[in-house]
Amino acid sequence: MMNEFPEGFLWGAATAAHQVEGNNINSDFWVFEHTPGTIFAEPSGDACDHYRLFRKDIQMLHELGLNAYRFSIEWARVEPEPGFISRASLYHYREVLETCHEYGVTPLVTLHHFTSPRWLMKMGGWESPETPARFAAYAEAVMRELGTLIPYVCTINEANIGVLLQLMRFNSGQDGQAPVGMEVSERQKAYNAWMEACARELNSTPERVKNFLFSATDAAIAVVKQAHEQAREAVKAVRPEAQVGITLALSEIQPQPGGEEMAARLRYALYEQFLPAMAGDDFIGVQNYTRMRVGPQGVLPNEEGMELTQMNYEFYPEALEGVIRMVAQAGKPMIVTENGIGTEDDSRRVEFIRRALKGVLRCLADGLDVRGYMYWSLLDNFEWMLGYRPKFGLVAVDRITQERTLKPSARLLGQIARQNRLVD
């Protein structure tokens, strides 16, 4: 098997604004984290202070040998009130983009990475028919100001995440995000009470607080698809040359005996139903972390004795190859926009990266069009409901001093990137 990657291959790491910037106070998630009874282990707070330290972080990424950086522009910062565009926030992101170009780092910009402005929840969030036009207007404002600096645009991160979380039985009100030991009915009551408190804080009702992460209804899926299509059109109207795509959270779906029909249904729910909305895209962002074993009744639990990550799913880096092969059938270029592992043991991260990239090489050897690999994540960051416990980063972050410390996995990925080949 060949061990070299194509010339011009994008090697990078990814972050999301809310998870690294800190103090994203105008977002829905800030409310969710701080409302009594929250399902979040802790608030995001200062996060990694990347809003202030972005120059050092981009320089660090460059010095490692990486040539790309996927990050998100925060809608809640750019448009803190409906129709009001913050010039200061756009200027900040201009500085981030200019720093990327200064260091020869290709920016891949995500316009929506889970978090939304607080005011969007008052309008009905990700089930409101107004949301696609609102999102497209925000996308247009970003591109008019910054488009000359943005070669790649991911409109929406993991447009299918609500479906995936539902399938993985990770949805808050149904899966014990409330204190362990509660009965299911008690968990549901606690969740409902928290959502009611959040709605009051947002000057809305629980029925209208449709947060992106947990919206998996038919109405929400339709809104997300429309938002992507309208944002893509808005981006192209301003910068026709920009490469536009969407990213999807895709576990490798492996049917077990008798599970073929269920696997086909899950494949449609997670992936195939989104294909029509992606018909005009320039690339597909592939995001993978593990596999999904499927039996006749649905997703099977982890097998006894399998190595698990801090996210409690199986250590299975080979899943990336399977997902790339599935997505390749759409006939579009692919960029691995997220792939990584939450672990305290960096030697397992090293192993994960090596094995995942061997799968990418096998795909390339078979002629599949993979353009880049973005490891998730550059920094140990805020992992949503789980707080700061899971460690996904190539770089450790001291929670008090914000000091960055490179891990061996960072040096490995940088060496691979510099040589553009899988090193021993």
* Interval 84-123: pLDDT, tens: 999 999 999 999 999 999 999 999 999 999 999 999 999 9
Which residue bears the tokens 């301003």?
238
Residue 166 predicted with pLDDT over 50:
yes
Superfamily for the 10-21+45-161+222-419 domain: Glycosidases (3.20.20.80)
Distance CA 412, CA 424 (A): 10
User: Which pLDDT value is given to residue 182?
Assistant: 54
Distance CA 135, CA 142 (A): 11
pTM score, two decimals?
Answer: 0.96
- Residues near 127 by beta carbon (within 8 Å), at least 6 away in sequence: 210, 215, 217, 219, 220, 223
Query: What is the full DSSP assignment across 389-410?
Result: -S---SEEE-TTT--EEE-HHH
Q: Which of 33, 338, 383, 403 is catalytic?
A: 338
In this prediction, residues 381-391 reach a mean pLDDT of 98
Q: Do residues 307 and 343 make contact, with C-beta atoms less than 8 angstroms apart?
A: no
Residue 176 predicted with pLDDT over 70:
no
Torsion of CA 325, 319, 110, 104, to 10 degrees: -80
Alpha helices by DSSP H, listed for 84-183, are 87-102, 118-122, 131-146, 161-167
In this prediction, residues 45-65 reach a mean pLDDT of 98
User: Which pLDDT value is given to residue 180?
Assistant: 45
Distance CA 141, CA 138 (A): 5
Q: Is 98 a catalytic residue?
A: no
Rg of the chain on CA atoms, in Å = 20
Residue 223 predicted with pLDDT over 70:
yes
pLDDT classification of 170: cutoffs 50, 70, 90: very low
Distance CA 313, CA 292 (A): 9
Residue 358 predicted with pLDDT over 50:
yes
In percent, the amount of the chain with pLDDT more than 90 equals 90
Residue 174 predicted with pLDDT over 70:
no
Residue 212 predicted with pLDDT over 80:
yes
Domain range list for the chain: 10-21+45-161+222-419
